[in-house]
Structure 1
Amino acid sequence: MKKPLFAPLILAFSVLLILVLIPNKWIEKLIPHDRVSQAATELNPFMFQGKYVQSKMLENQHFLPIFGSSELARLDRFHPANYFQVNKEGVTPFLVGRGGTESLIHFLNLAEHKDQLRGKKLVFVLSPQWFQPGGADESHFAPNFSSLQGYDFAFNNEINPVMKKKAIKRLLKFKAVSADPMLTALYDAEISNDPFAKRKAQVIKPFALMYRNLLVKKDLYYTLAGGLHRHRDISTKVKAKSWNQLEQLADQLGQKESRTNKFMIIDSQYRKLEKRIPELQNTKEGATYGRSVEYQDFQLILDLLHESGAKALFISVPVNGKWYDYVGFPKEGRKAYYTRIRQQIQKSGFSVADFSNHEYDPYFMKDTIHIGWKGWVYTDKAIEDFYEGKYKKSVSAMVKPQKNMVYTTRDAEF
């Protein structure tokens, strides 16, 4: 006797139903205890877009969250993930970000964990390239948008209502959000006085909650299954070195790895650009990072961190001065960004390690836009002082590599 053709469908549905009905606490008990440590340097987008791993990370005072974008993937011996692993036992940087994770994405992520941020020390690495006139575009926003974080934000009643409305108005400009009819309905009800929009959201709310719960369970199953498990080579060449020695090592490695060009760009990256170099000259005339909608998005982060009571250090990364001069990007357009971002952070009461005077510092940048080599040494020093509560003292007790570093803060002593 032949089995019914629909038997596999019934079996699949039964398995799915069982997986959905299993209590979340049971799944959590099965997740390995070292899963958070594994995720610390994996730069796994599923972790960024999830909830469980970051929640557990924020519970542990040994983890230091470092938020940023594509520069976090430029792992080398001077990178904070390596430096702190071999020099500071008990301090583990937890990297959050990849290319395209700009202000709005980070805001949604932080809003997800607002109740865990009070007194928490964290670091933000800022890229001038975020501050294009139009801010984040769809091609960068969509791959990094988290539906789970988006739905949790809709149901989050702990967020300041004014801040929430500002964020929703921006989020609805992206197709990754506006193309979701349930999420759009929830968001519309938050920012509209239309009774119909309010009633529509009430009808949709139970279904949206069910979907949100499914996304939570999906996150737990993914965490249980494991992440990327990338093997990261650890270099001990930066162990027990003074800051002067680290700067010298960074100079030596930078010189060795960028021999082919006058821009001091790492050779592997320069080879990708080499054929296009002539056509790129003076293509950025008249450009500026001083005017951008991204400043409004970034202010959402500052407001959220201030309201939550977090303690944050912002790293203001420069551009590669020689390269930017070559492509004709005006110095005024760069300076406008450095000044505006520093003042914006200060006004919100946070600390900023301002490296804007290192545009022409050899081997401070690894390529045209990403920090590297010596830049990471300076960043490590700023992070270490911040973490150890010596940040203000480092202004007057600066060692040689930091003689040009500018620290500003309106915070009390950490």
Structure 2
Amino acid sequence: MKKPLFSPLILAFILLLLLVLLPNQLIESLIPKSRINQAATELNPFMFQGKYVQQKMLEDPQFLPIYGSSELARLDRFHPSNYFKETNADFTPFLIGRGGTESLIHLLNFSEHTDQLKGKKIIFVLSPQWFQPKGTDESHFVPNYSALQGYDFAFNHQIDPVIKKRAIKRLLTFSPIENDPILSTIYKAEISKNVWTKREATIVRPFAYAYRDLLEKKDLYYTLVGGIHRNRDLSPKVRDKSWGQLQAMATQFGKKRATNNPFDISNNQYNKIKKLAPSLKGKKQGASYGKSPEYKDFQLVLDVLKENGAQPLFISVPVNGKWYDFTGFTKEGRSPYYKRIKNQIEAEGFQIADFSNHEYDPYFMKDTIHIGWKGWVYTDRAIMEFYKQDHSKNQVVRN
């Protein structure tokens, strides 16, 4: 006699139901305590888009979170993750970000953790290329968007309503939110006086809570299973060195690895653009980072950090001046960004390590836009000085 074909389906359904009904506290109790340390350098998108790991990290004074984008993945012996590990610093850098992680994504992330931000020192690495004339686009926003963070933002009553409404208007211009019938309805109700819109939001809100709960459980299961295991043991050669010695070492390190081009770009990176380089000469004439919707997006980040009592240090990364000149993207198009972003940060009383005068500093950058060997040394020093500051002081880091 043949067994019913639907038996495996019933079994699968029961198993799924058990996984869904399992209490969150029980799942959390199964997550190894080592998971947070493991995640510090994994650059795992599941961690960026989740909540549990970052929440535990922010609650632990051992960790110093570093927020940024693709530059965080450019690990070498001078990178903060290696330098502070090898020099036995009192803290462990925790990397949060990947390519395309721009202001709005960071906004949702910070909003997820308002309870953990008060008095927390953080590092935030800024990239000039975020500030395109049209701002961030779908190709950068969509892969980094977190539905969990999006739904939690909808139910977050700790954020100033004025800030929240400004953010919602901007977020509704992106497809993951606009095309989500439940979330978009709740968002629109926040900024609309229309009675019917508010009634629709009331109807869908229970479904939104239920879906958010499922997303939280999914985050816990991903954390339980584990992340991307990578060997981050780079080099102990940065130990027992002065900052001057490290700069000299970084210069020699970069000099050996950037020999096939006049832009001080690493050979591997230049090989990727070598064939295109002649066609790019002078193509960026008239380009500028001086005006962009990203400034308003970034202001939302500043507002949330200030409102919740965070203590950030912003790292203002330059571009590769030689390369940008070659493409016709002149200093006249770059300088307004450096000035504007510095003024914007300092206007909120926050600190900035401004490296804009290193555009032509050999081996400060690893390629055309990403900080590299020598740049990491300057960044390490700025981070160390910032970390050692008394919380009551509000000194601007100048470099």
TM-score w.r.t. the length of structure 2 is: 0.98
2:79 is aligned with 1:87: no
- Answer whether contact 1:323 1:368 (CA < 8 A) is retained: yes
Percent same amino acid among aligned pairs? 66
For 1:17 and 1:200, the matched residues in 2 are separated by 29
Aligned to 1:310: 310
How big is each residue's C-alpha offset from its partner over 1:203-227, in whole Å with a ceiling of 9 and x where there is no partner? 0000110000000000000000000
For residue 90 of structure 1, report the CA deviation from its aligned partner. 3.0
Aligned to 1:12: 12
For 1:50 and 1:224, the matched residues in 2 are separated by 12
Aligned to 1:253: 253
Q: State the one-letter code of the partner of 2:363.
A: Y
For 1:394 and 1:363, the matched residues in 2 are separated by 28
Aligned to 2:203: 203
Unmatched 5+ stretches in structure 1? 396-404, 408-414
Aligned to 1:412: none
- Answer whether contact 1:286 1:329 (CA < 8 A) is retained: yes
Further displaced range: 74-83 or 386-395:
386-395
For 1:63 and 1:295, the matched residues in 2 are separated by 28
For residue 268 of structure 1, report the CA deviation from its aligned partner. 0.2
Aligned to 1:379: 379
For residue 8 of structure 1, report the CA deviation from its aligned partner. 1.3
For residue 5 of structure 1, report the CA deviation from its aligned partner. 1.6
- Answer whether contact 2:351 2:394 (CA < 8 A) is retained: no
- Answer whether contact 2:290 2:340 (CA < 8 A) is retained: yes
Q: 1:134 to 1:393 in 2, by over 3 A?
A: closer
Structure 1 residues 4-403: aligned runs within 5 Å: 4-389=4-389
For 1:57 and 1:47, the matched residues in 2 are separated by 11
Aligned to 1:400: none
TM-score w.r.t. the length of structure 1 is: 0.94
Aligned to 1:402: none
Moved over 3 A (4+): 390-395
Q: How many residues align?
A: 398
Name the SS of the counterpart of 1:9 in structure 2: helix
For 1:282 and 1:193, the matched residues in 2 are separated by 50
How big is each residue's C-alpha offset from its partner over 1:29-58, in whole Å with a ceiling of 9 and x where there is no partner? 000000000000000000000000000000
Q: State the one-letter code of the partner of 2:278.
A: P
- Answer whether contact 2:350 2:394 (CA < 8 A) is retained: no
Name the SS of the counterpart of 2:276 in structure 1: helix
How big is each residue's C-alpha offset from its partner over 1:290-319, in whole Å with a ceiling of 9 and x where there is no partner? 100000000001001110001010000000
Q: 2:398 aligns with which of 402, 406, 413?
A: 406
Q: State the one-letter code of the partner of 1:318.
A: P
Taking only aligned residues, the RMSD between alpha carbons, in angstroms, comes to 1.4
For 1:13 and 1:394, the matched residues in 2 are separated by 58
For residue 394 of structure 1, report the CA deviation from its aligned partner. 9.3
Name the SS of the counterpart of 2:95 in structure 1: strand
For 2:116 and 2:395, the matched residues in 1 are separated by 28
For residue 115 of structure 1, report the CA deviation from its aligned partner. 1.1
